[in-house]
Structures are given as C-alpha cells and as structure tokens.
Structure 1
Amino acid sequence: MPQNSSTYRGRFAPSPTGPLHFGSLLAALGSWLMARQAGGVWLVRVEDLDPPREVPGAAERQLAALRAFGLESDETIVHQSERGALYQAALDRLLASGDAFVCHCSRNDLADDGGIHRTCIAARTRPDPAIRFRVPDGTVLEFDDAIQGPFAQNVAADVGDFVLRRADGLWAYQLAVVVDDAAQGITDVVRGADLLDSTPRQILLQRALGLPIPRYAHLPLVLGEDGRKLSKSTAALPVDPADPLPALHAAWRALGQEPLPSDAATPAALLGSMRERYDPSRLPRTPALSLAALHNVRDTKRD
C-alpha cells in the first residue's frame, strides 16, 4: 500500500470505447481513494490511441460521468492522441539503442507460434512494418504488486518481442502508457487486474528508457454474469450519472470496505465519508469479482 507522501501521484486512464461502466467506476474510485489516503494528487488521462475502436463522443461522456460521481482530475486532463511526439522520441531512443527493431512479420507468419515473436520469419518485406521491443531469451520479470502480491512472468516465452508501433501506424498501449506515466510523474499505478500481465512489459520498457518505475496495485476485475470483462460483456450497462450514489456505494462494497451510512445526500459528502473510512487492508486479493457475488464482497478481506 502507498505510504503517506505529498509526492504521491496516481491516475485513472479510461479508453473511450463506450460509456463509463461499473468496472471503470471501481478502478476510478479505487485509484482516487489510494491517492487521497496518501495525501497526493489524482489525475485523469484519456487513452484515445485506437480510433477504430473508439466511440464518437465517448471520452466526453466518460469525463462528464466522472464529474457527476465527484471524481475530478487535480490537473489538466491529458489526451494520448495529442502526444505522438513524445512516443516517437522514446521509440527513436529504443531503435538507436537496439532495444527496438523493425519487424515485417504478419499475424499469419506468427500463427504457428501462437502469435509470439521470437525471431523474424517474414517471407517478404512489408510497406508498413511494425516496430517491436527486443526481449532477450530467458527474460523473466518479477515484481511485488501491492494488492495481488508477488507476480512473475517469463516475458520471452509468454509474450515475446512485443509491438511498440503497429503496422497500421498506431502507437501500442505499452509504449504510450510508460511514456505518459513518466512524463506526468506518476508514482503509483492503481488499475484493474486485467492489466497485471502487461506490467512486466512496462517495467522492461521503463528500464530500457531509464525511467522511474512506479509502484503497482491491481484491483479486482469485475466480470459480467457471462464471465467476461465488463467492457466486453453484455452485462456492461453504463452507470447512471444522474443517480450516482447507488453505484458509488456498490463500488465501495466491491473494494471490500465496511458499509457506509446511507445518509449522504451528494457524491461529495459520500466521497468524504469514504476518504475517512477507507481501509486498504480490506481490498480483495482475488484478481476477479463477478457481478453476482458483489453483495458478498464486503465480507472479503485480504489474508
């Protein structure tokens, strides 16, 4: 858990692929509470790097929903779509150091290896090659997650050489998030457990670029009744900004916290009570929670 420090800087970084749903609210509230407990700042960053997947107007609606829930960025909101020059500078450094390379392999080329790239096997050059990060053989990355505990990944075998800039010219998430976390001085990354296995790749990039490595804490991922991540689930109904208190209470319970009195009349009042009573030791250590089980979450404590 983060220690009290005026230098704590956390963030919430939604992708504008649809309305704010309960899983996103849980991540936003969890990261906000961690920042407030540490006496630090909490930022919002819009991760709009993938235009084909974005829903027009979704970013504005997500930000409006966050405001309705009382969760507002302490600093100017950053949009990744406006930060390509920063990503290019980082990519140029990686290419110059040999940590990145141009790759002409297609998905079909890598299909027999499960999509994992270990060496270039393309039969022909492409006019639109990708750029990958070079993962040396035997690379195993270990780190201690503040919620999920020790985590280890054989990046070479399980992930392989990963993409930094896609063949369609779009920036890959792994590079952009590392560059932006460093540029914004993020000290603590609190997010959903679906990104737990991305963290080793990000730490490798931070090391290669000589960037600070934040502390990581991965909150339980909320799954729909169909067992899928809410952003991909038929159960992913948007939270209602016009009636924010019930969803805030539900997210609080999903974070394993003791129920709060229901007399708060505004989101600001409710968030004030949460800030006073938040107990990080009660955060569920399970990597996933189902919507159906959330009514029991308040009795789940960490070991």
Structure 2
Amino acid sequence: MPPVFRFAPSPNGYLHLGHAYSALLNFDCARATAGRLLLRIEDIDTVRCRPEFETAIYEDLAWLGLAWETPVRRQSEHLGEYRDAIKKLAAQGLIYPSFESRAEIAKLVAEREAISPWPRDPDGAPIYPGAARSLAAEIRERLIRSGIPYALRLDMARACSRAGELNWFERGSGPDGQTGLVRACPEAWGDVILARKETPTSYHLSVVMDDALQAVTEVVRGSDLFWSTSVHRLLQALLELPQPRYRHHRLVLDDSGHKLSKSTGSTGLRELRAKGVTAREIRSLVSLP
C-alpha cells in the first residue's frame, strides 16, 4: 500500500508561510514516495472558522501547485464519529465532566500558585486544578440536567495505567532535538479536554480519529505539536487505533524568532501573491528546493 500523507489546516484565518512549508513538505514527501496526499479541513471551532477562509485555503494551495485527493474531509461533517469515540472511552470509565468556567479555573490556579508553583503542560498552560473527577455520580447528573456548560475530560492517571508505557519513533526532531524512539509522556498534559457540551470533540480526539479513519500512515507536521503526540499515542492505544509514523519539522519563524501567526500579514500567502511573489519564490522563502 502506498504511504498516505495529509495536510490539515483550520479555516480560522488565511494561510501564511509556515502553512506553505508544511503543505509543500507533505506534497514533496508524497510525490517522492509515490504516496497519496489528503487535505483535511479542521473546522470544529464554529466561532472562528469561516467559509471564506476555507475557500482561501483551496485557492492558496492550488496557487502553490499542490494537488490532493477529493473529496476533502471536513471535521464538522463527522461529529458522530467523535461522539462514538467518546462513548467508547466513557465505557472504560475514562471520561468525566468538569463544570468550572475558564475564569473559575484561572482563579483556582492563582490560589494554588500563591502557595507554590502550579504545574503546566508542554504548551505552558496550567494543568487542570479542579476536583470534578471525584464528584459523586448523582451530583454530576444534577449539574448536567441543570444545563450548566461542561467539558469532558480524560482521567489521565487511569488512562495511563490502562495503556501502559507508550512511545513513538520520531523521523524528524522535537523542540530540543529529540529523534528516534521517544517515550510518550501524556501525564504531562493532565486531564485534557476531549469534548465540550456544545462540541463533541477536541483537537486531540479528532486528529487521532481522522488519521485512523483516513488510513493516514505518515504524519508530517510542525515541531510545536511534538509533545501532543504523547496524548495522541495514548488515545490510539485506548481506542485501539493504528499508529502512523511521525515526522515533526522545523517551524518558519518571524524576524523576532516567534512562530508565525495567521494575523501576520507580512507572511500571508494572499498578501505575498498580491505583491507579485511567485509560487517558486515561496519555496525559496521557506528553504525548500
């Protein structure tokens, strides 16, 4: 079977040079290995994702000279598959609802940090500090029936105990140069959110399900997602999903050394095209042959 690559942008803004690098790298890898390239639209964020951004993605990628298989998978059209995954995890006793708002969580973190430093995940966000995991079942049911918003979290300690030690083979490199066999450390993320009352999935859950359902064999993505692979390996084990091969690549940075943002007009593909920059020159700008 030929290898299967994918490029999976979110239509919450216009593509920039960092997206171009990742998309072109996936395209080049697929072509070099006689593989397939899929395009996935990660549009579960109904607040920020907009149709005009999705249309712009197709236009920008076509301008770069990329070709991909159709139909394109749009996450918003597959919410039932993510709900089924949540049910499977719930049946294992690995999911619980938490009811704190973001403001309440921030207050809890502040109270704890007034005593001692509170642990943070690899992205720098505070680990969930609440006690919803220990709420009695009848209290949970009463709060849910009341209509209060909630998030569905993974009981990380129980999930890690069930899955055992996990790792992946890294063909690229992580933020600190990690390569080869890497030990997964999902516990570093705490009790991650896998779904919310209004949205039956999260990035972690949907990306794992999508890769499996689309038979993706090669995940080529930015090194900013390197440690997220720990959570993805855990979910793959719990949901009995195949493990793709991983290659994390360097990030395209701005002049100050920061990761590019979709709000950075100077690196936006549409802006560069309007200035007369060619697709060939884009390759040069991101140091691709």
Which of 186, 199, 219 does residue 155 from structure 1 map onto? 186
TM-score (ref. length: structure 1): 0.74
Aligned to 1:249: 284
40 and 168 in structure 1: CA distance in 2 versus 1, 3 angstrom threshold: same
- Post-superposition offset of 1:71: 0.7
1:152-187 CA-partner distances (Å, limit 9, x unpaired): 45322x211111103543521001111111110001
Aligned to 1:34: 29
Query: Counterparts of 1:179-198 in structure 2 under 5 Å?
Result: 179-198=209-228
Query: Counterparts of 1:72-83 in structure 2 under 5 Å?
Result: 72-83=67-78
TM-score (ref. length: structure 2): 0.77
Query: Counterparts of 1:102-141 in structure 2 under 5 Å?
Result: 102-107=97-102, 108-109=104-105, 110-111=108-109, 112=112, 113=118, 114=120, 115-117=126-128, 120-121=131-132, 125=143, 127-136=148-157, 139=160, 141=166
Q: Distance in 2 between matches of 1:70 and 1:232?
A: 21
Question: Considering only aligned residues, what root-mean-square deviation do their CA atoms show, in Å?
Answer: 2.5
Query: Counterparts of 1:1-303 in structure 2 under 5 Å?
Result: 6-107=1-102, 108-109=104-105, 110-111=108-109, 112=112, 113=118, 114=120, 115-117=126-128, 120-121=131-132, 125=143, 127-136=148-157, 139=160, 141-148=166-173, 149-150=179-180, 151-156=182-187, 158-169=188-199, 171-231=201-261, 234=264, 237-239=267-269, 240-241=272-273, 243-251=278-286, 253=287, 255=288
Q: Distance in 2 between matches of 1:138 and 1:170?
A: 19
Q: Distance in 2 between matches of 1:29 and 1:43?
A: 12
106 and 153 in structure 1: CA distance in 2 versus 1, 3 angstrom threshold: farther
Check conservation: 1:189, 1:215, Cα contact below 8 A.
yes
- Post-superposition offset of 1:202: 0.7
Q: Distance in 1 between matches of 2:91 and 2:73?
A: 28
Mind listing any 5+ residue stretches in structure 2 that lack a counterpart? 113-117, 121-125, 174-178
Q: Give the letter aligned to residue 154 of structure 1.
A: C
Check conservation: 1:226, 1:233, Cα contact below 8 A.
no
Check conservation: 1:9, 1:187, Cα contact below 8 A.
yes
Q: Distance in 1 between matches of 2:51 and 2:261?
A: 16
Check conservation: 1:22, 1:236, Cα contact below 8 A.
no
Check conservation: 1:12, 1:27, Cα contact below 8 A.
yes
1:60-109 CA-partner distances (Å, limit 9, x unpaired): 10111101111121231111111101111111111111122222244433
118 and 204 in structure 1: CA distance in 2 versus 1, 3 angstrom threshold: farther
SS in 1 for 2:268: coil
Mind listing any 5+ residue stretches in structure 1 that lack a counterpart? 1-5, 258-303
1:218-250 CA-partner distances (Å, limit 9, x unpaired): 110111123322125646521245732210233
Higher relative contact order (CA 8 A, sep 6+): 2
Q: Distance in 2 between matches of 1:197 and 1:25?
A: 22
Check conservation: 2:13, 2:53, Cα contact below 8 A.
yes
Q: Distance in 1 between matches of 2:250 and 2:54?
A: 24
Check conservation: 1:132, 1:163, Cα contact below 8 A.
yes
SS in 2 for 1:131: strand
SS in 2 for 1:18: coil
Check conservation: 1:17, 1:55, Cα contact below 8 A.
yes
Q: Distance in 1 between matches of 2:52 and 2:152?
A: 30
118 and 134 in structure 1: CA distance in 2 versus 1, 3 angstrom threshold: farther
**Count of residues paired in the alignment:** 248
- Post-superposition offset of 1:141: 4.4
Check conservation: 2:16, 2:262, Cα contact below 8 A.
no
SS in 1 for 2:227: helix
Q: Give the letter aligned to residue 154 of structure 2.
A: F
